[in-house]
Amino acid sequence: MTDHKKLKAWVKKCAALCRPDKIVWIDGSAAQRARLEKESIAAGEIHRLNRKKLPGCFLHRTAINDVARTEGLTFICTPTKKDAGPTNNWMAPDKAYEKAGDIFRGSMKGRTMYVIPFSMGPVGSPFSKIGIELTDSIYVVLNMLIMTRAGDKVLKQLGTNGEFTKCLHSKADLDINRRLIMHFPQDNTIWSVGSGYGGNVLLGKKCLALRVASYQANQEGWMAEHMLIMGIEEPDGRIQYIAAAFPSACGKTNLAMMLPPKGLKKKGYKIWTVGDDIAWMRVDSDGRLWAINPESGFFGVAPGTNSKTNPNAMATVNRNTIFTNVLLKPDNTIWWEDGDESAPPEGIDWRGVPWKPGMVDDEGKTIKGAHPNSRFTAPAKQCPTISYRLEHHHGVPISAIIFGGRRAHVAPLVYEAFNWEHGVYVGATMASERTAAQFGKQGEVRRDPMAMLPFCGYNMARYFRHWLDMEKKLDKAPKIFHVNWFRQDKDGKFLWPGFGENLRILEWVLDRCNDKAGARKTPIGFVPNPTDIDMTGLKLSNDKMRELLLVDKKEWKQELKGQKEFLSRFEKDLPQGIKRQYLLLKKRLGV
Ligand code: OXD
Ligand code: MN
């Protein structure tokens, strides 16, 4: 097992609190995984899917009230409220340990506690971090085995006194009133209790790789970001990498795995997927920003994923995948809305209830077969476009950073920030319409700086300052862009086809980085002229293109008000650079 005294003492302490019947250390072997799968099937926690059509695949259903991240129950437990900042829920550490401790107490009686040693990032990379998750859920173990590098090799790397994040999880009784997701960045500790939903319980992901890591990154001078990483290879073999931040369920997975559109195919581009959700970035000895994807799997949204929107994801999830909250078909395969097939005549819905297409609830609303936030957990290495550099300890150099949101209006298809400081302002003020990945009213516009609003483990004003400060460390800072694939016309129709066609915009982005493409200067940044984007093989009227690239001063003056209101939440802590950029934008808009 391990000779790490602190680790053993901590496991013992947690066991004394949770009182499991048994403790099992996860070794990462196929044999142990197979045993756990059997046990989990017997307990009714997972269901084995059609072995022929979906080999190695399982279905899991969460509790009905446990289908998305619960931001209202997620806390940053720093010594002072100010350390957590105005955008986080805060609880004093003592109180948080006590409150969650009451729920953890005895919660694992009659259950097994699994000890999962996991590495975020390739095992042994100087940029990786090790965590140990204790959990009473085999579903969590099986997911962690996909999403992280886990098992004995990590313990070996940890040695006898290596640092690790202490992650404690118990389903407890899955009662929403006894559910808490607590982060103690100063203690390098995460406590999650009362939930079984991925984002709340796969503690390496949002909790460690974003909330705790963002705090550590600020201390240590690097960046932990909610970003996909992808490579774009030109026919001469040169690959340039971009990192892009979009709020949850805004298409990061689709973009990271895109196929070049027909019209651009002859240019010979190839896309490489490095990551679809999280980027850890730091300045390397060449003065450039380098990124690793700390994960080894994808935890993607199923509905809307199909052979048109994301053929590579479809090819990834046809084996060794855990599906959560999708519809079960009579042939023991699965289905979700806006997938490849039309609805089956019958099935068992995500709640475990018999389902037929067109069924409505008491209010007359269509009952979905799969939950809108239903997910697949799939090994990254199964993705046909996975980059060989996923396992490289140094990761990939980043040429451009892209921010994006889901905005029906205001934000043009793409624009480039004037400089790093302006780019940080663009990221700090970005906004998006709410999706199914969060509880709350869908469609509502919320400011989501750098797509990190729910994931920043410390005061966001300080996070902005950290972003601004990174420029000083960089000899060659990536250029910063903003995209919006979701702009609509007057009738509410999307103007841009999206998906593979987005490569046309990435091409412009990279051409701008290489001083090869034109643009016009607008008050909000450099915007391409319609002729600056290669539209070969894509029919889109000039009017549509003009509308997509429009910067409407009236709308932007309104937008400026929203930005000001949001930024005012940070009061005196707002860094000078952000204030300056606000004033410059105001001036450029003639306000
Ligand atoms: C995710 C999310 O699951 O952002 O990646 O919610
Ligand atoms: Mn995410």
Q: Residue 95 CB: number of other CB atoms within 10 A?
A: 11
In this structure, the residue with its CA closest to atom 1 of ligand 1 is 248
What b/e sequence results for 430-462 when a residue is b if at least 16 CB atoms lie within 10 Å of its CB, and e otherwise? bbbbbbbbbeeeeeebebbbbbbbbbbbbbbbb
Amino acid at the residue 285: S
In this structure, the residue with its CA closest to atom 2 of ligand 1 is 248
Say how far apart CA 291 and CA 207 lie, in whole Å: 19
Which strands sit side by side in the sheet containing 375-379, from one edge to the other? 46-48, 58-60, 322-324, 375-379, 297-301
Give 35's contacts (C-beta < 8 A, 6+ positions apart).
none
Instruction: Report pLDDT for 441.
Output: 60
Report the separation in Å between the CA atom of 23 and the middle of ligand 2, taken as the mean of its atom positions: 31
In this structure, the residue with its CA closest to atom 3 of ligand 1 is 199
Say how far apart CA 373 and CA 7 lie, in whole Å: 35
Residue indicated by tokens 């400011």: 447
Say how far apart CA 142 and CA 151 lie, in whole Å: 12
Q: Which residues pair with 282 in a beta bridge?
A: 290
Which is the CATH superfamily of the domain at 5-44+70-221? Phosphoenolpyruvate Carboxykinase, domain 1 (3.40.449.10)
Q: Which ligand is nearest to the CA of 278?
A: 2
What string of DSSP letters covers 141-176? HHHHHHHSEESHHHHHHHTTT---EEEEEE-TT--G
Report the separation in Å between the CA atom of 345 and the middle of ligand 2, taken as the mean of its atom positions: 33
In order along its 591 residues, the chain shows pLDDT tens digits of 899 999 999 999 999 999 999 999 999 999 999 999 999 999 999 999 999 999 999 999 999 999 999 999 999 999 999 999 999 999 999 999 999 999 999 999 999 999 999 999 999 999 999 999 999 999 999 999 999 999 999 999 999 999 999 999 999 999 999 999 999 999 999 999 999 999 999 999 999 999 999 999 999 999 999 999 999 999 889 999 999 999 988 889 999 999 999 888 889 999 999 999 999 999 999 999 999 999 999 999 999 999 999 999 999 999 999 999 999 999 999 999 999 999 999 999 999 999 999 999 999 999 999 999 999 999 999 999 999 999 999 999 999 999 999 999 999 999 999 999 999 999 999 999 765 555 556 567 889 999 999 999 999 999 999 999 999 999 999 999 999 999 999 898 999 999 999 999 999 999 999 999 999 999 999 999 999 999 999 999 999 999 999 999 999 999 999 999 999 999 999 999 999 999 999 999 999
Atom of ligand 1 nearest to the CA of 437: 6
Q: Which ligand is nearest to the CA of 299?
A: 1
**Would you say 431 and 562 are in contact if contact means Cβ atoms under 8 Å apart?**
yes
**Would you say 477 and 420 are in contact if contact means Cβ atoms under 8 Å apart?**
yes
Say how far apart CA 261 and CA 501 lie, in whole Å: 6
Whether 57 is catalytic is no
Q: Which of 211, 252, 299 has most ligand 1 atoms within 8 Å of CB, for mutation?
A: 299
Instruction: Report pLDDT for 263.
Output: 84
Report the separation in Å between the CA atom of 249 and the middle of ligand 1, taken as the mean of its atom positions: 7
Atom of ligand 1 nearest to the CA of 301: 3
Instruction: Report pLDDT for 265.
Output: 83
Please tell me the class of the 225-296+388-588 domain.
alpha beta
Radius of gyration of the chain (CA): 23
**Would you say 329 and 320 are in contact if contact means Cβ atoms under 8 Å apart?**
no
Say how far apart CA 202 and CA 143 lie, in whole Å: 7
In this structure, the residue with its CA closest to atom 4 of ligand 1 is 248
In this structure, the residue with its CA closest to atom 6 of ligand 1 is 248
Selected catalytic residue, list 18, 57, 250, 383: 250
**Would you say 202 and 275 are in contact if contact means Cβ atoms under 8 Å apart?**
no
Q: Which of 228, 248, 325, 450 has most ligand 1 atoms within 8 Å of CB, for mutation?
A: 248
Residue 471: which region, alpha, beta or left (left: phi > 0; alpha: psi -120 to 50)? alpha
Instruction: Report pLDDT for 266.
Output: 86
Say how far apart CA 60 and CA 299 lie, in whole Å: 14
Instruction: Report pLDDT for 433.
Output: 79
Say how far apart CA 103 and CA 270 lie, in whole Å: 50
Where does the chain hold its CATH 3.40.449.10 domain(s)? 5-44+70-221
Where does the chain hold its CATH 3.90.228.20 domain(s)? 225-296+388-588
Q: Which ligand is nearest to the CA of 300?
A: 1
Q: Which of 206, 255, 377, 455 has most ligand 1 atoms within 8 Å of CB, for mutation?
A: 206
Report the separation in Å between the CA atom of 297 and the middle of ligand 2, taken as the mean of its atom positions: 13
Instruction: Report pLDDT for 36.
Output: 98
Say how far apart CA 399 and CA 510 lie, in whole Å: 8
Cα dist. 11→57, 132, 156, 167 in Å? 31, 9, 17, 10
* Ligand 1, CB within 6 Å, residue ranges: 69, 199, 248, 277, 299, 437
By residue count, the chain amounts to: 591
Taking the CA atoms of residue 130, residue 394, residue 415 and residue 464 in that order, the dihedral angle to the nearest 10 degrees is: 40
pTM greater than the 0.95 cutoff: yes
Say how far apart CA 59 and CA 251 lie, in whole Å: 23
**Would you say 523 and 512 are in contact if contact means Cβ atoms under 8 Å apart?**
no
Say how far apart CA 157 and CA 227 lie, in whole Å: 27
Report the separation in Å between the CA atom of 251 and the middle of ligand 2, taken as the mean of its atom positions: 10
Atom of ligand 1 nearest to the CA of 375: 3
Residue 85: which region, alpha, beta or left (left: phi > 0; alpha: psi -120 to 50)? left
Q: Which ligand is nearest to the CA of 437?
A: 1
Report the separation in Å between the CA atom of 253 and the middle of ligand 2, taken as the mean of its atom positions: 9
